[in-house]
Structure 1
Amino acid sequence: MNIPASTGVPLVLESRTRDRVLQAISEHGPVTATALADELSLTVPAVRRHLENLTESGLIDEREVAVASSRGRGRPARSFVLSEGGHQALDSDYDHLATEALRFLSAEVGEEAVRRFAESRVGLLEEKYAAELAAAGTDTAARVEALVAALTRDGFAASARPMGENHGAAKGSNAVSGLSGIQLCQGHCPVQDAAREFPQFCDAETDAFSRLLGVHVQRLATLAHGDHVCTTFVPTKSELSTEGSTR
């Protein structure tokens, strides 16, 4: 029995799976094919097929993972992150228009106007998230978890993991020297193009995170500066107390 060639169901399912793989890389990158397969409940060969297509399309970049010596002389593990084209594929077209509008605002009114606009925009998100973080209580980790959930819901592909000596931070990572805490990551930024030219958006967001979490956070990396993820270090309250007692 021949299936009519006009049916588009397999192609639609294939496209949806491809989009799921791309989104998962945005949220978890750098990530290996095996980890993606586990995350998406797919086979590794199926994931590798989509990874090849995404790489050929210029939407993701391949990187070599630092591997343990137990791998011997086997083929080095590979991980994947979104490319510049991949970030743009997840962005809406308004980002380009917004950048032009900001250039006009800066030229006509000045940099201070851009800063106030950035603070106003981020302030809306801060107001939106404030109740959710308040409901999480005073524990820093719980508040970070609530912020991650809110950011992910709004398309920022957020995640968090403990960092520092007591949590096995990788050598050469961006953890703040001498402190343990939480690394908050954002795999997607809807205003990445604008933030590249106008860092006021990154500054305003960092300040908002500090107020929402109740601790002084430090921005370590940004998509706007060419990193594969926005990274913010959130010290725990216990570490802050220790730091303060040594001054």
Structure 2
Amino acid sequence: MYSPSDLDAPAAGPVDGQRESTRDRVLQVVLNQGPVSAARVGEELGLTAAAVRRHLDVLSEEGSVEVKLVSGNRGAGRPSRRYVVSRAGQSRLGNDYLEVAVQALEQLSAAAGRDAVRTVARERFAAVEERYRAAIGTTTDLRERTNALAGVLDDEGFAASVRTVGQTGSGNGRPTLKAAQICQGHCPLQDLAADFPEFCEEETELFARLLGVDVRRLSTLPTGGHVCTTHVPLGRD
């Protein structure tokens, strides 16, 4: 754990290394939990909110994070600041697939059309489907399957988590409609999928097969979203 005083030490090798290490940890928490407040990042890392804000200011200046203003629950008062990882920050965290893959797909598309690209995307996800299915197990509970899928994705480096959303009951006895959202904060195929959305589409189809329900993509990193969000309908409570 690093104290706030570390930030005020003279510029020297070990201190610079500590700053950089802590800053990378701050960036990783924003990736996993964004949109997230400085206070929440501090709780996660054992730092004060003030110390975290200094790191976030640097990350914001260099373009690794972006600030979102979020209104309170009742819409009153000043909006609070929440942080998300920018596209530049995604690159800093390691979108390290080979550029030759993009060039190869461009040549394939030119020679054989987009259907050939879709075949490549479909084969890519078919290659991991059985491994994902084995990790999810045999449970028939959709919530458990959704959480297990997010766990597999997180282990694969997609910084995945699950959020439960739903329409709150109005006290009229009607059941509450619930849903889960699988959020992926990182994608090593992000730049590739920006040119070839077939990869996002085939991944969505994979999720639907694994969960056994129709799912819907609400946002993706390649199209400018801060996370890839997949909506999973859970039914009524």
Residues 53 and 212 of structure 1, relative CA distance in 2, 3 Å threshold: same
Please report how far the alpha carbon of residue 15 of structure 1 lies from its aligned counterpart in structure 2 after TM superposition.
1.4
User: Which of residues 67, 77, 81 is equivalent to 1:78?
Assistant: 81
Q: How does 1:186-197 map to 2 (within 5 A)?
A: 186-197=184-195
Please report how far the alpha carbon of residue 11 of structure 1 lies from its aligned counterpart in structure 2 after TM superposition.
2.4
Give the Cα separation in 1 of the matches to 2:205 and 2:59. 35
1:145 aligns with 2:150: no
Give the Cα separation in 1 of the matches to 2:23 and 2:169. 33
Q: Give deviations 1:170-212, integer Å, cap 9, x for gaps.
A: xxxxxxxx95211111111111111111111011100100111
Residues 6 and 90 of structure 1, relative CA distance in 2, 3 Å threshold: closer
Please report how far the alpha carbon of residue 69 of structure 1 lies from its aligned counterpart in structure 2 after TM superposition.
5.5
Q: Give deviations 1:121-179, integer Å, cap 9, x for gaps.
A: 122222221111125x11111111111111111111111111111399xxxxxxxxx95
Partners of 2:159 and 2:186 within 8 A in 1 = yes
Equivalent residue pairs, number:
223
Tell me which residue corresponds to 2:100: 97
1:108 aligns with 2:106: no
Please report how far the alpha carbon of residue 7 of structure 1 lies from its aligned counterpart in structure 2 after TM superposition.
6.8
Residues 139 and 68 of structure 1, relative CA distance in 2, 3 Å threshold: closer
Please report how far the alpha carbon of residue 95 of structure 1 lies from its aligned counterpart in structure 2 after TM superposition.
5.1
Q: How does 1:166-205 map to 2 (within 5 A)?
A: 166=168, 179-205=177-203
1:129 aligns with 2:132: yes
Tell me which residue corresponds to 2:221: 223
Give the Cα separation in 1 of the matches to 2:113 and 2:169. 45
> CA RMSD for the aligned pairs?
2.4
Tell me which residue corresponds to 1:245: none
Give the Cα separation in 2 of the matches to 1:154 and 1:13. 27
Amino acid at match of 1:156: F
Q: Give deviations 1:21-41, integer Å, cap 9, x for gaps.
A: 111111111111011111222
Amino acid at match of 2:214: H
The TM-score normalised by the length of structure 1 is 0.82
The TM-score normalised by the length of structure 2 is 0.86
Give the Cα separation in 2 of the matches to 1:193 and 1:6. 36
Greater displacement, 159-168 / 81-90 = 159-168
Residues 69 and 145 of structure 1, relative CA distance in 2, 3 Å threshold: closer
3-state SS of paired residue (1:203): helix
Give the Cα separation in 1 of the matches to 2:162 and 2:115. 32
Partners of 1:118 and 1:204 within 8 A in 2 = yes
Higher helix fraction: Structure 1 or Structure 2?
Answer: 1
Q: How does 1:155-174 map to 2 (within 5 A)?
A: 155-166=157-168
Amino acid at match of 2:141: D
Partners of 1:95 and 1:190 within 8 A in 2 = no
Give the Cα separation in 2 of the matches to 1:182 and 1:105. 37
Tell me which residue corresponds to 1:154: 156
Structure 2 unaligned runs (5+)? 1-9, 171-175
Partners of 1:95 and 1:193 within 8 A in 2 = no
Amino acid at match of 1:151: L
Amino acid at match of 1:18: R
Runs of 4+ in 1 over 6 A off after TM superposition: none
Partners of 2:95 and 2:190 within 8 A in 1 = no
Structure with the larger RCO, 1 or 2 (CA within 8 Å, 6+ apart): 1
Partners of 1:126 and 1:208 within 8 A in 2 = yes
Partners of 2:95 and 2:187 within 8 A in 1 = no
3-state SS of paired residue (1:31): coil
3-state SS of paired residue (2:222): helix
Tell me which residue corresponds to 2:33: 28
Percent identical pairs in the alignment equals 45
